[in-house]
Copies of this chain bind each other. A is one copy, B any other.
């Protein structure tokens, strides 16, 4: 007998938590830490202040032969969460503040909840959230997730006086994991996060009580991104329908100018002439066929301006260099930032770096660092588009070889990073992204080639 059922979004991600990155006890600890740290970085940057993030993983007890119970606590100086939203922000899957066209680390409305959910299903303990916007009150919630109904279960709620005007968020919960196996990746994550966020202060106290401090090396923060409008080249019928539904504008030029990215009066009029749409048409009166035709025309019209980068916040060549030099102390480093490009209407910028010698270890393959929206990507390297580009390049023509002490860094920032997986493990092989990475790497590879050639000359001179 075939029976049908519906499941909630939290039930879906509970059943398929490996798809969200919570694959096994060691990976789960890594995933929980990275999701919370990324939330904290976003929270501080939204206030345009240098992040101060304190992470403590403390040992709570044995669980099985290879796993232990830990308590994870992440504290930040960010913008905080308004009390009325705390239960949903941490207890309802597909709820958040990052469903906007703006570069942020968060994007799915899922990460923090997955960490809390994983802790809950391995320890049956509630999560404790404390938050304040720096005003007179601190709000404390103890909550669990009703996984079948996808809603928070509030076990306790307290309002405390904020005597020291503290601002930020503290998230604390227990989870079962294998820290020993996760440790190298977790330390790597902190090191690489510090590398591309050199304005952030990160502190990590591990279960043995060891203190890892990553102190900021600069007060300069990249210019923060602004929220933007969808680009005409990225439209589909659903998007058009939603815009038509909410628009207060009763004619086509105003509809285009106010709902699309970089469409001015002139461009709007040119477009309406090109697509033979009457400017006085009320968008709400467009028929089904006219909406589909509008979509095709928006993609066909060649004179829309390419996206500008105001919704993006790249590191910049200076900051990128600082991070590489601090981490690898190389003999040579070259960095390059590409111009903004788009894929499927989403703007993105590729930044690359290449470094030689110094503290870079000599191994059988290049040391590759991958970043997306200033998040280090530490798993599934072989599947990532950057690694495919690197492997497809003819490095010999640049006098470089994988067994040299060479490190390669690729950073993509976008309003929508083309992650292949919900666990944000690697970047999909999109042709536009692949092309930009290839062009960026060839540029810095050329600079490396000059350095290696000069070095070769100097060595030859020295031998005579």
Contact = CB atoms under 8 A, between A and B. Distances in A.
Interface of A: 2-9, 11-12, 14-16, 18-19, 23-24, 46, 63-65, 79, 82, 85, 88-89, 92, 94-97, 99, 108-109, 120-124, 147-148, 236-239, 242, 288-289, 291-292, 296, 299-300, 344, 380, 382-383, 388, 418-422, 428, 430
A96 B4 contact: yes
A89 B63 CA distance: 41
Contacts of A430: 23
Contacts of A94: 6-9, 11-12
Contacts of A99: 5, 7, 15
Contacts of A291: 124
Given A122-B237, A383-B383, A428-B23, A296 B63 contact: yes
Contacts of A242: 148
A89 B148 CA distance: 19
A374 B24 CA distance: 26
A5 B95 contact: yes
Contact of A421 (B9, B64, B124, B420): B420
A359 to B, nearest CB: 30
B237 A109 contact: no
A136 B388 CA distance: 56
Given A9-B12, A12-B108, A14-B238, 10 more contacts: A2-B79, A2-B97, A4-B95, A5-B95, A5-B99, A6-B94, A64-B300, A121-B239, A148-B242, A422-B422
Contacts of A11: 94
Contacts of A121: 236-239
25 contacts: A2-B82, A3-B97, A4-B82, A4-B88, A4-B97, A5-B97, A6-B94, A6-B95, A8-B9, A9-B9, A12-B94, A12-B109, A16-B108, A19-B422, A23-B430, A24-B344, A64-B299, A121-B239, A122-B236, A123-B292, A124-B237, A124-B288, A382-B382, A382-B383, A422-B422
A209 to B, nearest CB: 25
Contacts of A380: 383
A419 B20 CA distance: 11
Contacts of A236: 121-122
Chain B CB within 10 Å — which of A8, A92, A97 has the most? A97
A19 B88 contact: no
A289 B60 CA distance: 14
A5 B148 CA distance: 20
A361 to B, nearest CB: 23
Contacts of A95: 4-7
A2 B382 contact: no
Contacts of A88: 4, 6
Contacts of A16: 108, 422
Contacts of A388: 382
A112 to B, nearest CB: 13
A123 B382 contact: no
Contacts of A239: 121
